[in-house]
Structure 1
Amino acid sequence: MDNEMSAPETKADLAQAFTDFMGAFEVFRETNDRRLAELEHKSGADVVTTDKLARVEAALDANQRRMDEMVLKSHRPSLGGAVVAGPNEHKAAFEGYVRAGNETGLRALEKKALTGGASDAGFTVPVEVEAEVMRRLTAISPIRSIAAVRQVSGATYKKPITSAGPVTGWVAETADRDVTDAPTLSELKFDTMELYAMPAATATLLDDTAVDMDQWLADEIETAFAEQETAAFVAGTGTSKPRGFTDYTLVEESSWSWGNIGVVKTGVNGGFPVSTPADKLIDLVYTLKAGYRQNAHFVMNRSTQAAVRKMKDGDGSYLWMPPAIPGARASLLNFPVVEAEDMPDIATDEPAIAFGDFRRGYLIVDRQGLKILRDPYSSKPYVLFYTTKRVGGGVQDFDAIKMLQFSA
């Protein structure tokens, strides 16, 4: 069954993991300082120092991943807690379907609820299972954790926006008021697309009454859903998947207009400027309006984060700082850093760093209902569980997200 650690073990191991992480960061800082000193006084850094720095960075990243996994595991509640009578009836019927393929209970419930429960489309999972899957996705999907999320019952969500507001102005108490123009409204449309996972179970697992099938299902599909979602939220084309924020037209901030994503260019193809590279990060930060900066995040992948982790300000202080406590985010220029592996690497013309208020800038639309279809035939002796959810996404405020593009 589940082999998660007890609460005392989790806390002790998490504390040790955080101590190891901070120790690795101190070694990284010392090694990188030595590398910078060698670059300043020699023609290049010593190969021994460079190799050590690479090893320390790998250890730092590994410690961060280990700590993140432990934090996630410690936050997972049991699905076997007290629930109201209605969901219990659904849960019992769902258990019979998953373990033995008995559809009678689920068909009766869906008929009572006046919903279509045709076996070729699958059956809706209990609400507590769906809620747990969505909670876990928020915890492990980097973009979902910072974006706006809206749940809908239909296939499409339409959001009206004001592209040109009414004329406004100051006026004296008794003065005549001019007739104001009506606001100009346009519409953003977010279609939900089908995302699926297909975990497999053995007959032995299904027969084992000690195994919590709800927990097993959530464990099996959370990572698969999170990885696919994140890839789409970052770089999806909008065809059969959500549209990612890097897929929109990129324009220099000086030419920015609604419907495009504004960029700051580094001035160097495929890299930062040799002199004062951190200035470009500062330029990116202050391209964003003050109202958006309050809740802004940096978004980049691991290799890009490794590059900015070596940068210092004019006083010799590192711009990147490790998290203050386990489960918190690292920061860059005092803004949280979100690591999304689907962000592009630093390369010519690539927008490898995003910065913005993603809660206002990017919208994720979830259609209610997580469905599952039991398939004992396609991969004998295993039983497959074709699990689907519908999700959409796209930029909803084009002024809330800016990108750093590595081009001249």
Structure 2
Amino acid sequence: MSDLLTRALEKRANTWSQMQEIQATAEREGRSELTAEEREKWDRAETDLNAASQDIERMERMARLDTVQRDQLIVAGGPAEERGEVDQEAAYRDAFGAFTRRGMSGLDNEQRQLLMSNMSEVRAQATSPGTAGGYFIPTETLARMTETMKAYGGILSLANVINTASGNPLNWPSNNDTSNVGAILAENAQITEQDVTLGQKTLGAFTYTSKLVRVSLQLLQDDAFNIDTWLPRKLGERIGRAVAAHLATGAGTTEPEGLFTNATAGKTGTTGQTTSVIYDDLIDLIHSVDPAYRQSPTTRFVMSDSALKMVRKLKDGNSLPLWQPSTQMGVPDTLLGYGVTVDNGVPVPAANAKSIGFGDVNAAYVVRQVSGGQMMRLEERYADYLQVGFFGFLRLDAKPDDTSAFRVYAHSAT
């Protein structure tokens, strides 16, 4: 663990202790409200806590990316076949970087053939890639793009993600037989029949685009600027923001159906709880999910940062905080013993809103991606500006799978 990460974890733990001491002082003195000075200290500490949490998340994400890079870039010490695969990936990555900066005219024959073997259809009634080409983003860069999307949408990192080569409708059978039970059979009695009912679910492929970005030739020619990784990351951020909102609350018609959109309420707040939740509500929400799912290692809470701020202030019957910040790398913050994933696509606390989810998201939600992310380069269109156009796109669809695995907390209407 790096010294920076260690210090950030310690800072978050200390800040959280300070906040708890402020609240404990008010409780010892029998006050239901904080003084102006205490409120000022609390708000300042909460700002520091959020900043430290963001720093920790960023450093842990970079640590994961470093692991991906090392796994892909080691070329010595392994079997010849493995080295060949890594060499091929490195060659493609180098060719992609040259294509990003200089276009097809800046490639040698081997690089051109390598890219064209992975080239997608780029425009109607035209096959020449000289002026407009679309290519898969290299694995290393795609990992960064995907990590960026996960940062904007925590649901994506938890869901069951299926990658397919084409965007044809993807069908799979569904069945819920949990209401059917066996029976004792009397001697010489005939066994009764009870059929298994099957359904079918389908995933398509909506096309997400980053919109067009124009880059000057001067910037492309600047070898000191790592454009071939920086630009896909920026395009990924744009796509990630759009995907994140839909994975949480998408309507399911002209966009993916969100995890929270039609989720069953495991607990609804009582009258007056339009923007609040209490300890008992969270317990009821947990137990609205069957133990078969609660025991899964991927079961957790999902909520927005605004909802997390709300639950951070809750305590159990022994005046102990429900939320426990982690002080170790790789160990998540917990709420009532379960991990917490923050996704700001989830609705914030409000009347009738479903602001907190709980369950096994991997079992409850499936995401279908087609061919990974791709990027296109438009060379001639903006030649008179000495600019090159770029845009990224990703084909994706998603919908709930096992709806019994996930429940939500719904605020009261009034």
Separation in structure 2 between the aligned mates of residue 333 and residue 28 of structure 1, nearest angstrom: 19
Question: Tell me, what secondary structure is at the counterpart of 1:343?
Answer: coil
Q: What secondary structure does 1:264 align onto?
A: strand
TM-score normalised according to structure 1 size: 0.82
User: TM-score normalized by structure 2?
Assistant: 0.81
Provide the rounded CA distance (Å) in 1 between the counterparts of 2:251 and 2:112: 37
Query: What residue is the counterpart of 1:33 in the other structure?
Result: 24
Moved more, 353-362 or 86-95: 86-95
Equivalent of residue 374 in structure 1, options 373, 377, 385: 377
What is the aligned length? 383
Taking a change above 3 Å as real, the CA distance of residues 235 and 168 of structure 1, as seen in their structure-2 partners, is closer
Counterpart of 2:39 (choices 50, 54, 60) is: 50
Aligned to 1:130: 142
- Structural mapping, 1:5-404, within 5 Å: 11-37=2-28, 40-41=30-31, 44-77=33-66, 78=69, 81=73, 82=75, 83-102=85-104, 108-109=113-114, 116=121, 118=127, 122-134=134-146, 137-138=149-150, 141-155=153-167, 156-164=169-177, 169=182, 178=191, 180-197=193-210, 198-248=212-262, 261-269=264-272, 270-272=274-276, 277-295=278-296, 296-376=299-379, 377-378=381-382, 380-404=385-409
Q: Is the 8 A contact 1:309 1:318 kept in 2?
A: yes
Note closer, same or farther for the CA distance 1:31–1:374 as it changes in structure 2 (3 Å cut).
Answer: same
Consecutive unaligned residues of structure 1, counting only runs of 5 or more, are: 1-9, 249-259
The aligned amino acid for 2:346 is: M
SS of the residue 2:390 aligns to: strand
Separation in structure 2 between the aligned mates of residue 36 and residue 216 of structure 1, nearest angstrom: 50
Change (3 A) 1:68 1:383: same
Q: CA deviation at 1:178?
A: 3.1
Query: Is the Cα–Cα contact under 8 Å of residues 152 and 344 in structure 2 kept in the other structure?
Result: no
Aligned partners of 2:207 and 2:396 also within 8 Å:
yes
In the TM superposition, residue 67 of structure 1 has moved relative to its aligned partner by: 1.5
In 2 relative to 1, CA 97–32 (structure 1 residues): closer, same or farther, beyond 3 Å?
same
Shift of 1:71: 1.7
Per the alignment, do residues 65 and 135 of structure 1 end up closer, same or farther by CA in structure 2, a change over 3 Å counting?
A: closer
Relative distance call for 1:308 and 1:243 in structure 2 (3 A) is same
The one-letter amino acid of 2:255's match is K
8 Å contact from structure 1 (residues 199, 220) kept in 2:
no
| Alpha-carbon distance in structure 2 between the residues aligned to 1:113 and 1:63 | 42
> Could you say what the CA RMSD is over the residues aligned between the two structures, in angstroms?
3.2
**C-alpha distance in 2, partners of 1:382/1:110?**
22
Please list every run of 5 or more consecutive structure 2 residues that lacks an aligned counterpart in the other structure.
Answer: 76-84
Q: Write the letter of the residue equivalent to 1:293.
A: R
SS in 1 for 2:280: helix
Q: Contact between 2:307 and 2:355, CA under 8 Å: does it hold in 1?
A: yes
Q: Distance in 2 between matches of 1:128 and 1:60?
A: 32
Q: Distance in 2 between matches of 1:87 and 1:308?
A: 46
Which stretch of structure 1 is more off in the superposition, 222-231 or 278-287? 222-231
Q: How has the CA–CA distance of structure 1 residues 25 and 382 changed in structure 2, closer, same or farther, with 3 Å as cutoff? A: farther
Q: Residue type matched to 1:389 in 2?
A: L
